[in-house]
Amino acid sequence: ISPLNATAPNQLERSLKHFFGHDSFRPGQREIVEAALQNRDLLIVMPTGGGKSLCFQLPALMRKGVTVVVSPLIALMQDQVESLKNNGIACTFLNSTLSWEESRSRETAILQGQIKLLYVAPERLLSERFLPFMDMVRAQVGICGFAIDEAHCVSEWGHDFRPEYRQMQLLRQRYPEIPMMALTATATDRVRQDITQQLALRDPKIHIASFNRPNLYYEVRQKTKQSYRELVKLIRESKGSGIIYCLSRRRVDEIAYKLQREGIDAIPYHAGMNDQERSSNQTRFIRDDAQVIVATIAFGMGINKPDVRFVVHYDLPRNIEGYYQESGRAGRDGEPANCTMFFGYGDIKTIEYIIDQKTDVDEQRIARQQLRQIINYSESTVCRRTIQLGYFGERFPGNCENCDNCRNPNPTEDWTIEAMKFLSCVARCKERFGMNHIIDVLRGSKNQKVLKYGHETLSTYGIGLDKTADEWKMLARSLIHQGLVEETTDGYSVLKLNEGSWEVMRKQRQVFIAVPKAPVNTDMTDRDR
């Protein structure tokens, strides 16, 4: 098929059906494929699951010669090649895992024109030994394009800079006539510019897809002592497989073990396990031998499992971008999938602790800001999509009908009286205690600390029994976020009053908080867990 005929009406659709079995293109794919067939350089920014691979795979199959795909992850490379081969597509990869004989036999196949797509790792592509082979490929069968996957790796401004990607500059110098397509799922404006510059793209056609994933249902739930039962229920009610993200290796092991005892097919995945165990668990999950994988964020980059039906963040994610990427591993096939996050105040402490361990002050500052953003996301009563997409600079009008806040808007309630009680108690305790202690006093606890300070004699002692400890916490957090009380950041989290607090106490100001739809559970504080 010559490129001109290829874009004739329906020809592209026919090829799409022929090679991949899909009936129609996803948004953007057709224009991209057309531009690629016209040998244009391209920069494609599409969210994970958006269908990037097809953008270089289809043109590769429709043209003479080989398309060289650069991919940084060996596991991903093997996966893609495997699944393409299963579809009868002539492709192969060359990387360090292969024996010398195997490499040679693949190289021969390439030179004989039996291969349309060749996957290589960047360090290999640009090695002294490999470049002469590339020259032979160019001379004998032709190279019709380069596809640079995970192109954000060329940029130090991205989240995953890889020095070996820097050398990709050589590609343009050495193969100036060969069109190049750069693909990534994450690129801020800055990173986009960097990619274009580093790879020396020539007047590239830039395609930036919406990051909206309409098939994903986003939900945030309060973390309480009941959350574990909710998790089990969620898994049991889901027909398909899912990923459960936890903050630490210890938590991963613990949750995986508990779920197994529950009779759920759950396996762990984290960086503390040996390579073999890890890759075997990953394979089991991908092959549906295990319904659930419990994992740290070490899991998922480059995993190609389109039918993940749910992703649960059992612990708070560290930032919005991470949350978007991790939850985005659900529903890559476009079918409905659930993304549930459990939001517990205890996790904030854990993440703060992790942040405190960082030695670089700038890193600390950024991490703190990211933490605040994810807390705001969790506590917000606004459409979850609006917040997530806004983070990527995309304006979304809200009313998505597919997040908890849109389907079931939180009522706000007037909690002025409660706020006055709470803040007065902070004042009575002389602004020297954290929220747990204040709540203990309000709820009339007889614990050691209360008695030690004689706080059972305060006028605010026991005036808060009409609310659960969790409800008081919710109020306290809301007051902090609304700037109506301060929490010290020196690690002791002491509550301090400010001007706003006094306005509330003087009845000059009302306090509204969004109350969760489900009643907050009684006496289930994070500390009890």
Stretch of 103-111, 118-126, 143-151, 375-383 lying at the interface with Zn ion (CB under 5 A)? 375-383
Smallest distance from ligand ADP to CB 249, Å: 27
Segment lying near ligand ADP (by CB under 6 A), choices 46-54, 359-367, 376-384, 401-409? 46-54
* Residue 294 binding Zn ion, by CB under 5 A: no
Cβ–Cβ < 8 Å for 512, 412? yes
Which of 46, 58, 60, 426 is close enough to bind ligand ADP by CB under 6 A? 46
CB-based burial, 11-20: b 16+ in 10 Å, e otherwise? ebeebbeebb
Residue 421 as a binder of ligand ADP (CB under 6 A): the answer is no
Rule CB under 5 A: is residue 406 a binding residue for Zn ion?
yes
When CB distances are held under 5 to 8 angstroms depending on the partner's kind, the choice from Zn ion, ligand ADP, none that residue 428 binds is none
Does 306 bind ligand ADP (CB under 6 A)? Our answer is yes
Residue 234 partner contact from Zn ion, ligand ADP, none using kind-dependent CB cut-offs of 5 to 8 Å: none
Q: Which does 331 bind (CB under 5 to 8 A by kind): Zn ion, ligand ADP, none?
A: none
For residues 214 and 409, which CB has a smaller minimum distance to ligand ADP in the complex? 214
Q: Which of 1, 3, 26, 453 binds ligand ADP (CB under 6 A)?
A: 26
What the block records as the tokens of 381 is 């009563």
> How many residues in the shown chain lie near Zn ion by CB under 5 A?
5
Interaction residues for Zn ion, span 381-400 (CB under 5 A): 383, 385, 400
Report, in Å, the least distance between residue 305 CB and ligand ADP.
9
197: how many CB neighbours lie within 10 A of its CB? 12
Residue 287, helix vs strand vs coil: coil
Torsion of CA 513, 518, 520, 521, to 10 degrees: 180
Beta bridge partners of 413: 513
Question: Rounded to an integer, what distance in angstroms lies between the CA atom of residue 145 and that of residue 66?
Answer: 7
- Binding partner of 48, given ligand ADP, Zn ion, none, CB within 5-8 angstroms per partner class: ligand ADP
339 beta partners: 218, 311
Does position 49 interact with ligand ADP (CB under 6 A)? The reply is yes
Contact 485, 479 (CB under 8 A): yes
Query: Binder to ligand ADP among 12, 19, 28, 48 (CB under 6 A)?
Result: 48
Contact present, 234 and 341 (Cβ < 8 Å)? no
Q: Which does 383 bind (CB under 5 to 8 A by kind): Zn ion, ligand ADP, none?
A: Zn ion
CB within 8 Å of 169: residues ≥ 6 apart: 198, 199, 200
Q: Count residues near ligand ADP (CB under 6 A).
A: 16
Among 180, 403, 505, 513, binds Zn ion (CB under 5 A): 403
Q: Where are the beta strands (DSSP E) in 211-288?
A: 216-222, 241-245, 266-269
Residue 25 interaction partner, one of ligand ADP, Zn ion, none, beta carbon < 5-8 Å per kind = ligand ADP
First to last CA, the chain: 64
Choose among ligand ADP, Zn ion, none what residue 54 binds, the Cβ cut-off being 5 to 8 Å by kind: ligand ADP
DSSP 404-457: HHHHSPPPEEE-HHHHHHHHHHHHHTTT-S-HHHHHHHHTT---HHHHHTTGGG
CB of 57 to ligand ADP, least distance (A): 8
Contact 406, 398 (CB under 8 A): yes
Is residue 25 within the footprint of ligand ADP (CB under 6 A)? yes
CB 480 within 8 A of CB 487: yes
Check residue 333 for interaction with ligand ADP (CB under 6 A).
yes
Among 12, 37, 43, 50, binds ligand ADP (CB under 6 A): 50
For ligand ADP, the binding residues (CB under 6 A) are 22, 25-26, 29, 46, 48-54, 304, 306, 332-333
